[in-house]
Amino acid sequence: NAGVTQTPKFQVLKTGQSMTLQCAQDMNHNSMYWYRQDPGMGLRLIYYSASEGTTDKGEVPNGYNVSRLNKREFSLRLESAAPSQTSVYFCASSSYQAGNQPQHFGDGTRLSIL
């Protein structure tokens, strides 16, 4: 029972480097999400994909891009990493974006930007 799988689990980057965080789900869910979690701030939505072929900005999209590669996979890209992007990143999926559908989370990627 893999659920939502994120890779890598840990990463250290230098300022200005680029990186792609990978996320895949095997629950046949339509909707997928990327969040960042910083101390004392809770989870903040970066981007989401309500269904395959669509993506939308969340609360904090600046500095990020996403690709919904297919129904299973949703990647997050940092084009030019900045220290302010040091955070824990969570990917999640749900049956549908609308309605009373809870999300299932991956176990996170801990990213440090030096």
Partner 1 sequence: RKEVEQDPGPFNVPEGATVAFNCTYSNSASQSFFWYRQDCRKEPKLLMSVYSSGNEDGRFTAQLNRASQYISLLIRDSKLSDSATYLCVVNAMRFGAGTRLTVKP
Residues at the interface with partner 1 (CB under 8 A):
33, 35, 40-45, 48, 58, 90, 94, 97, 99-108
The nearer residue to partner 1, 17 or 105, going by C-beta atoms, is 105
The nearer residue to partner 1, 10 or 14, going by C-beta atoms, is 10
Least distance (Å) between residue 47 CB and partner 1:
11
Least distance (Å) between residue 43 CB and partner 1:
4
Q: Is 92 helix (H, G, I), strand (E, B) or coil?
A: strand
Beta bridge partners of 66: 76
Least distance (Å) between residue 81 CB and partner 1:
22
Least distance (Å) between residue 103 CB and partner 1:
7
The nearer residue to partner 1, 85 or 106, going by C-beta atoms, is 106
The nearer residue to partner 1, 8 or 16, going by C-beta atoms, is 8
Joined together, the tokens standing for residue 14 give 């230098």
Which pairs with CB-CB distance under 8 Å and at least 24 residues apart come from 36-45?
Answer: 36/60, 36/85, 36/87, 36/88, 36/89, 36/90, 37/87, 37/88, 37/89, 37/90, 37/108, 38/87, 38/88, 43/90
Residue type, 20: T
